[in-house]
Structure 1
């Protein structure tokens, strides 16, 4: 996986999207003293959560900053009361590597895991109001367009860093440093039993508080319903948008809600298909669109004849195969509304695949003295570039250890 991530970074930089910010590349994404939030999926065990081998390799890349890394990396999520950084069975090669375990692998570097579920019940003020409690800051103004009360976490890490998801890194002398805080969004691509598809946009459901507004629903957090109107894009705009989205498509649940009871967001090992693909983009909408068209649907077609709920161009609601009633909204409609919110705020987002250019390259396999110890596997890397919305696909032949 380290080779895959380093190859992904090289591919990005070949197209002038630089991962490292330094004296020679002032437009780079990550500075050597930045505080980086890796927003993973920590809600689901098995293959439903973000691949922890991928998380580990991304952290290795960050702390390997060429200027020497002196910042901090935080692995985190709000699983809305169901999350964990310590799942016993995980999306990883050996199935037992948790996010907390990954956070403890980096010695003197400041790397940790923080579960926002543990602070979601407390509504607080931000650090500049002299409130140093961990918790959620929630706007009391209702956004009538996307039907959301915007909220965000603020907390102190185990290394003593005060982090406000919206405002940045707090210092008692100098105040907030917004530029120093970076978010990398790391969702898993899969089907979803209410919204058709989970990808980069819907993954931001792990950022807000999960506030139950009785006028919306008496038991379900209102943000779930706001997704249909583009509410998570509002959250990105009004708090903090990711500098990069890395979409985990290594194991995907491609079972459509209208054809299978095994539809996502669950990721049981026997529900998922191995595709070994990683995607990266600064445009979450474009990556969601491309991934559903070119990864999720082709896998679904291997087993099913109906899969309209996975199609980003299909507007109607698809009927449920079993249970739970109907969809809240189609994937197309919530993605389009999210795109419009981002565009209105001046951020790039597109669902126009005709603007996407695809390039393919291949790396040589690693040489090993013991051919029986390793298996060659093809790993596809996808980069969707900003501005031009070009997609670059790299096929990397790598070697992975067999599970004994």
Structure 2
């Protein structure tokens, strides 16, 4: 056996006279890395979608399926070789396995082959242009005695670096308080406070975020930081707890690498840790025990896990950073019973497109409440049977919904993912106690005007389930009007459960505050500059530092119009 050197590569001549190349160590490492990555991707697909094939629609599963193609191709090659050598029944088994491997990318109509059919909408640049000119609508309910309030602030300022306060959220709380929905329960004369307010000084406040996706597909962490700071700033002195909660369906949980914030490194975990006291601010990862079936505290079971109610319904029970035992359905365990009155839930979703329901907002965010390991075909359940309404009726109803539309993800069929490259800055925050009214308004007057895509219109006249849809976009396996169906089915379920909700705009009163008008500033002063008129005035220089705006106030005491000339010296 002899060695032959050629072009820096070695070859060996075997017994049958064939040359076989010796790959370099780098080549072996590269192939081994691909093999390991493909195996891990395939394992992830099996773990996430094995018991629930509908999850193969998810973008993360499509990406994993694409990555697993390397190992699938290798397996296919081995089977093909076996097919040539096999006889009889074994030959048919090999053929069946080859067909199965070849069809994997087509499962649920969401693989790489079918992804080429139908375009994605909208064009990101066109959507950004529409967002820049968007002016949210406001109106009063036809019956002023029974309005469903929707609160909207637009042109939300960019948060100041290092400042936990959020000007947009502060303006939203003020707007709510001035119109009868007070954030704080307090008798003190404080902005956003009132005797019938939502948050008491000793409450356990759960902030339900969307942490299942990264980039702009998750709730804005600047907003969450501002919301926590707002709760802690209770005028009576906050003695309770704030707990971030979410069953994020796997993934990095609260430790995303790419986050939805001005500083994309700012994860939910970083926000919580930034407050420095887990007895006041903590996070509970419901995903960490999502497949653990447990009993209630009153039964002597103090394990964290999910209590299963049947018919797709389950709810978490957990322990906070302070050691408080919480049953999401029953309330705070006192040692002898439950206190539900001190348990408050603030639902904080992000507004974005969704390939199944059309839109993700307040209702869809409740998908992060039940255990996904204890549900089956839940997307069809929530569209046609009002599943989120059942969760709210039988487990917990949100005390307040704060809808994050600072960045929206309008593209189809990317949603519920929200890649940076396709996200659109809208700088809008919305709030209300009626999640249905908020979802209808946000879809109709925020996301739909930005995207121009009919599936985001809760009043679309189209209801087909053809492939592609009538507008040429890719069918994702759900009706074109899935959003409308979901809103109606959920409204029916919630109404039957005693909750007064609506998707009728004539029953809504929409309050809008454009922060370009000067709202949302956390401080400032205005003093009398003169007590008599003059034609020439000299102003002090003011400041242009970060977070400040200087205003020059001129008064014309006469009825006639006058011209003023300003000179910067």
Q: TM-score of the superposition, structure 1-length normalised?
A: 0.81
Aligned to 1:364: 518
Question: Are 2:463 and 2:480, in contact at CA under 8 Å, matched by a contact in 1?
Answer: no
Q: CA 1:67–1:345 in 2, change beyond 3 Å: closer, same or farther?
A: same
Question: Are 1:120 and 1:135, in contact at CA under 8 Å, matched by a contact in 2?
Answer: yes
Aligned to 2:344: 182
Q: CA 1:203–1:317 in 2, change beyond 3 Å: closer, same or farther?
A: farther
Bigger strand share: 1
Aligned to 2:87: none
Q: CA 1:180–1:192 in 2, change beyond 3 Å: closer, same or farther?
A: same
Q: Distance in 1 between matches of 2:317 and 2:419?
A: 32
Question: How far off its partner does 1:159 sit?
Answer: 1.8
Give the 5 Å matches for 1:357-396: 357-362=509-514, 363-364=517-518, 371=544, 373=546
Q: Distance in 2 between matches of 1:105 and 1:184?
A: 20
Aligned to 2:204: 35
- The equivalent position to 1:205 in structure 2, one of 362, 367, 370, is 367
Q: Distance in 2 between matches of 1:242 and 1:326?
A: 27
Spell out, residue by residue over 1:307-327, the C-alpha distance to the aligned partner (whole angstroms, 9 max, x if none). Answer: 221111126146463475445
Question: How far off its partner does 1:357 sit?
Answer: 3.2
Backbone CA RMSD of aligned residues: 2.3
Question: How far off its partner does 1:150 sit?
Answer: 1.5
Task: Tell me which moved more, 340-349 or 16-25.
Answer: 16-25
- The equivalent position to 1:309 in structure 2, one of 451, 455, 462, is 455
Question: How far off its partner does 1:349 sit?
Answer: 1.0
Question: How far off its partner does 1:84 sit?
Answer: 0.9
Question: How far off its partner does 1:20 sit?
Answer: 0.9
Q: CA 1:268–1:230 in 2, change beyond 3 Å: closer, same or farther?
A: same
Gaps of 5+ in 2: 1-158, 160-165, 189-193, 525-540, 550-569
Aligned to 2:393: 237
Aligned to 1:379: none
Question: How far off its partner does 1:157 sit?
Answer: 1.6
Spell out, residue by residue over 1:258-296, the C-alpha distance to the aligned partner (whole angstroms, 9 max, x if none). Answer: xxx4x3101110111000000001000100100111111
Question: Are 1:210 and 1:222, in contact at CA under 8 Å, matched by a contact in 2?
Answer: no
- The equivalent position to 2:230 in structure 1, one of 61, 77, 81, is 61
Spell out, residue by residue over 1:359-379, the C-alpha distance to the aligned partner (whole angstroms, 9 max, x if none). Answer: 444542768966475699xxx
- The equivalent position to 1:7 in structure 2, one of 164, 171, 180, is 171
- The equivalent position to 1:278 in structure 2, one of 429, 451, 463, is 429
Spell out, residue by residue over 1:4-33, the C-alpha distance to the aligned partner (whole angstroms, 9 max, x if none). Answer: 212111111111211111356442100111
Question: How far off its partner does 1:81 sit?
Answer: 2.2
- The equivalent position to 1:121 in structure 2, one of 284, 291, 302, is 291
- The equivalent position to 1:137 in structure 2, one of 307, 312, 326, is 307
Largest Rg, 1 or 2 = 2
In structure 1, the residue corresponding to 2:402 is in which secondary structure? strand
1:339 to 2:508 alignment = no
More contact order relative to length (CA 8 Å, sep ≥ 6): 2
Q: CA 1:29–1:194 in 2, change beyond 3 Å: closer, same or farther?
A: same
Question: Are 1:191 and 1:253, in contact at CA under 8 Å, matched by a contact in 2?
Answer: yes
Question: Are 2:364 and 2:388, in contact at CA under 8 Å, matched by a contact in 1?
Answer: yes
Q: Distance in 2 between matches of 1:183 and 1:156?
A: 16
Q: Which consecutive segments of 4 or more residues in structure 1 shift more than 3 A?
A: 23-26, 317-329, 357-363, 365-376
Aligned to 2:382: 227
In structure 2, the residue corresponding to 1:240 is in which secondary structure? coil
Question: Are 1:193 and 1:265, in contact at CA under 8 Å, matched by a contact in 2?
Answer: yes
Give the 5 Å matches for 1:282-301: 282-301=433-452
Q: Distance in 2 between matches of 1:131 and 1:222?
A: 30
Aligned to 2:357: 195
In structure 1, the residue corresponding to 2:509 is in which secondary structure? coil
Q: Distance in 1 between matches of 2:180 and 2:409?
A: 33
Question: Are 2:455 and 2:481, in contact at CA under 8 Å, matched by a contact in 1?
Answer: no
Question: How far off its partner does 1:82 sit?
Answer: 3.2
